[in-house]
Structure 1
Amino acid sequence: MMPQLVTVRVQCPDRRPIRLWVPVLPAVLLLSPLVALAALGGVVACVIYSIDVVRAFNTARRIVCALPGTRVDIAQSRTAVLVTIR
């Protein structure tokens, strides 16, 4: 299943926490021209390096489908960023 929502939370000790909810589908639709260019670039790279295009795109699809449930915590000094993919 494709990820549906990305939650980003930024915490700084001297400010209120910032929380953003980003729905994936509308973001992908807005960025679809860039996604099409990236897919074209992927096809060109596969041809240049003699990689099976279908297998490469199937692998990319499997990686994207495995993203839900991923959680990334980044902390530097007193600032923390939490990214959750649902």
Structure 2
Amino acid sequence: MKGGSRRADGRRRRLYVPVLPVALVLSPLLLLAVPAGLVACRRFRVSPAGALRGSRRLLWALPGTRFEIEEGRTALQVRIR
């Protein structure tokens, strides 16, 4: 991921966020997300394997995605490579 914003003088400030350390820090949330996902699949009568395939396709489509947000003097741009 890469985010950027403009400084007061108009130059961009770049911040590189490495994905692997962020994923490692957030991995304990998987312990909560997996059972919640299974309950949701059962509740809405969705195949867990189909939901997993759909999630995988979504993750594979992320590279090249770009978000730009501006609020007042703050601008944020996130690119997923």
Same fold (TM over 0.5): yes
Q: How does 1:61-76 map to 2 (within 5 A)?
A: 61-76=56-71
Question: What number of residue pairs does the alignment pair up?
Answer: 81
TM-score, structure 1 length as denominator?
A: 0.79
Q: Deviations over 1:39-71 (max 9, x none)?
A: 221111111111111101110111011100111
Q: Which has the higher contact order (CA 8 A, sep 6+)?
A: 1
Aligned position for 2:39: 44
- In terms of fraction of residues, the more helix-rich structure is 2
Tell me whether 1:35 sits opposite 2:30 in the alignment.
yes
Tell me whether 1:80 sits opposite 2:57 in the alignment.
no
C-alpha root-mean-square deviation of aligned residues, in Å?
1.9
What amino acid sits opposite 1:42 in the alignment?
Answer: G
TM-score, structure 2 length as denominator?
A: 0.83
